[in-house]
Amino acid sequence: MSTDPLAAADDLNALMRASRTEVRSDPQLEALTLAVIANLPVLLWGEPGIGKSAGLEQLARGLGVPLETVIASVHEPSDFAGLPIVGADPAVTGVPMAPPDWAVRLAGAGRGLIFFDELSSAPPAVQAALLRVVLERRVGSLTLPEPVRVVAAANPPSSAADGWHLSPPLANRFVHLRWTHDPRTVARGMAGTWPAVPVPKVDPAKASSAVARARGVVSGFLTARPGLAHHLPPDAEARGGAWPSPRTWEMALRLLAAGYATGAGREAVSAAVVGAVGDGAGIELLSYLQELDLPDPDRVLVNPDAFALPERGDRQLAFLTAVVAAVQGELTRERWEAGWAVLAKAVDAGVPDVAARAATDLAALRDPAWPVPAAIDGFMDLLHLSGAL
């Protein structure tokens, strides 16, 4: 028996760390994974000590990538902008900005997660320096590889030490996720069993259809609700969260595509979309999405004659947009001609105006060597006026 009191204490602590895991779903971790898959910066909002860092560690293990954690609140702006290194002749070579060690390690690995913790406790000058890391992936003179994902965490200003609201330019570049804890999970963990959450993975066979469906949904929604394309909240606290802008609608589009391609649960997709464009616009989009129930455009292109055009105008517009996006994603003469067969159903239904924009976009995809199909006849006048033919 060891007489070293610290050795005995270490043995006790090792026993305390021993635990087992059980597979369990977790919508908030699934939503975080969707943002990481879509390569969008994501910001976790939650009270201190509820497992934000543990969630990142589990995600990094599930993806098989390194994780670098940086406490934003204890750094200076130069830690992200880089420190100047004066060479032999600055007038000729310039003055490069040396990146920090964590950025060098991630660049060397070629992939990974960078976790900026306590973001809301960082002063505005540090947030401004971080803006370039998030926007351009630049740290000093170093560019982080594309497979490096950016995740941050923040405590609400009310519970953060010297908390600050995020600046609107920085806030609008994140997917904002609310991070909470489940008391039952904590209780079971204290008994020695913690959840192991499966990481959603993209199904390559679904990728093209997923992008097309997402484009149809978001484009159709913004056509019906143009006032939601951009809305800067009036108060500082709301501007430091999620709100709709062309940038965040692009984020919502990518999140929807990731959700379709991974088969993610509705709750996770909902949290991710609301985290991109905010509560009001996000809830409206989700309601619109639930009512649409669009068919798979790739399946329709395989057999367009068996497809019946939806009766509602908003569903028609969203689906025809998705069809053109699907053709563009995998452009062949057969799929291009099948796209015209689908659009012709709008002429047959007496609503050619609904398909006008889709027809113009589809015509622009034509290879000059392809003959003009008969299904295009109903749009000839429109296409000649637009210069597409």
Could you read off the pLDDT of 46-82 as tens digits, one per residue?
888 888 888 888 889 888 999 999 998 888 888 888 7
Specify the pLDDT at position 159. Answer: 58
Ordered DSSP codes for 274-311: HHHH-HHHHHHHHHHHHHH-PPPHHHHHHSGGG----S
Burial letters 173-184, b for 16+ CB under 10 A, else e: bbbbbebeeeee
* Antiparallel, parallel or unpaired: β 20-23 and 193-196: parallel
Residue the block writes with tokens 């949904």? 217
- How much is the mean pLDDT over the chain? 86
The answer, yes or no, to whether residue 161 has pLDDT greater than 70, is no
Residue type, position 100, single letter? P
The CATH homologous superfamily to which domain 41-173 belongs is P-loop containing nucleotide triphosphate hydrolases (3.40.50.300)
Contacts of 255 (CB under 8 A, 6+ apart): 34, 35, 38, 40, 175, 269, 272, 273, 276
DSSP, collapsed to helix, strand or coil, labels residue 264 as coil
Span of 116-120, 343-347, 377-381 with lowest mean pLDDT: 377-381
Give per-residue pLDDT as tens, 137-156.
889 889 999 999 999 998 87
Residue pair 323/365 in contact (Cβ under 8 Å)? The answer is no
Task: Return the H-helix or E-strand segment holding 68.
Answer: strand 67-71
What φ, ψ does residue 20 adopt, rounded to 5°? -125, 170
DSSP classification of residue 75 = -
Residue ranges covered by each domain of the chain:
41-173, 204-386
Q: Which of 37-51, 74-88, 254-268 has the highest mean pLDDT?
A: 254-268
Pick from 18, 17, 25, 19: nearest CA to 196: 25
Residue type, position 233, single letter? P
Give per-residue pLDDT as tens, 117-127.
888 888 888 88
Pick from 209, 169, 176, 207: nearest CA to 282: 176
